[in-house]
Amino acid sequence: MTQTPEDPQIQPETPSAADLPNTGLPNTGLPNTGLPNNDLVTNEAIAVATDAPVELPTPDLTPTWVYAPPVVASEHPAGSASPAVKKAIIAGAISGLIAGMLGFVGASVIGNSPSPSISLPSSKGQKSARADDSIAGIAQAVLPVVVSIDVTSDQGSGTGSGFVIRSTAKESFILTNNHVATGSGGAQKITVTFQDQSQETATIVGTDASYDLAVLRIDRGNLPVAALGDSSDVVVGDATIAIGSPLGLTGTVTSGIVSALNRPVTAGDSTDVSFISAIQTDAAINPGNSGGPLVNSRGEVIGINSAIATTGSSVSGQSGSIGLGFAIPINQARRVATELIATGSSSYPVIGVQLDMTYDGQGALVDSVVADGPASKTDLAPDDVITEIDGAKVSDGTELVVRIRAKNPGDVVKLTLSDGKVIEVTLGSNQN
């Protein structure tokens, strides 16, 4: 399973003759009687070939039609009708004519009459209240701060999402993913689209590839701003709502729960890797959701949707949601965004060692200690194996880096070595 940035029926065929059930009969085009063809009965088959006269028995009874009286011979010559019959014929004709006229008149009257009025009860949507803490209520409150981001360059194009984190009278700042803002490469044109379909051209204020974050600026002020929550208050099982533009479908809302916390996730390539201690959610996140907010049941942003796990490529060549989405915790993103707005760059915490990322044992193997770095002021040495940080198990070098990146420069961490020794290190910082 890999983590990747998450940047139309067939009519049933009519059966052919070969598909029809086999009746065991030759195809004569006749209905199937269930009898072989040589069992068909003909007059010739029952004729008796003989020269002797055939004497038929004389029946004893005169046959009659069922439910019909016997016909009494008439004294009138053939070809003429009795006066009674004639009267009956005339009376029938007159009666039929009158009935036809009455039927025509009745049909005309009914046809020209107005149709009866039918009215079914209805309930109008605006009368149905939505609780503020329902998914519908939260979506209504958060959607105005969410934008769609389209990036084009001479090397390609891409789409993602973002949300407004600061707005003044003249300008506003939008938080998104680094891979959204810079993913197209080259000289880029960035267009921000709001929920009312109005657009603004954006410029990049700053990016941080190590956290996969970027801040954009637009020349439009007095915009609604997202409410930022506290990701340290999130627990597994909390409700989540993801909002963004998957596959360019702006204003898409999906929901789920927090599936796990502190999930170590790396995304990018060997030259531009992001290390994320991520919030895992089963809310559907798809390509184009990148940079959009993950919010809690109070409508507060707790994370920035950034990556999804996949089991392989889809038929279309793009991966999609399998219920494993990852978001950058907002507490981590808040610090980085603040630095980017203030200075155009940001920092990340370090302990001042180089790790052997090829080590396949349990823990993180120290390859070397950086001169004048934070670890150089401690007893940490090459070949030490770090197995825990602040009491949390460390399975490999990547997980150690992710755990450290979740901290802030200046924080003090406790590193436990494989021999049980505990070393305290005050985190330094590197500039992106």
Separation between Cα atoms, residue 401 and residue 396, nearest integer Å = 9
Q: Determine the length of the chain.
A: 432
CA 346 → CA 18, 302, 429, distances in Å? 71, 20, 10
Q: How far apart are CA 357 and CA 270, in angstroms?
A: 12
Give exposure, 335-374, as e/b (b: 16+ Cβ within 10 Å): bbbebbbeeeebbbbbbbbebbeeeeeebbbbbebeeebb
Question: What are phi and psi for residue 223, nearest 5 degrees?
Answer: -95, 155
Please list the alpha-helical segments (H only) found in 171-317.
Answer: 178-181
**Burial, 413: exposed, middle or buried (Cβ in 10 Å; 0-12, 13-18, 19+)?**
middle
User: Do the beta carbons of residue 330 and residue 341 sit within 8 Å?
Assistant: no
Alpha helices in 296-396 (DSSP H): 330-343
How far CA 272 is from CA of 185, 211, 269, 275, 432, in Å, comes to: 13, 10, 5, 10, 11
φ and ψ of 264, to 5 deg: -70, 120
Helix (H) or strand (E) run with residue 350 in it: strand 347-350
- Which residues are annotated as catalytic? 179, 212, 290
- Would you say 341 and 22 are in contact if contact means Cβ atoms under 8 Å apart? no
Query: Could you give the CA distance from residue 29 to residue 155 in angstroms, rounded to a whole number?
Result: 65
Structure tokens at 97: 């004519």
CA-derived radius of gyration, the chain = 43
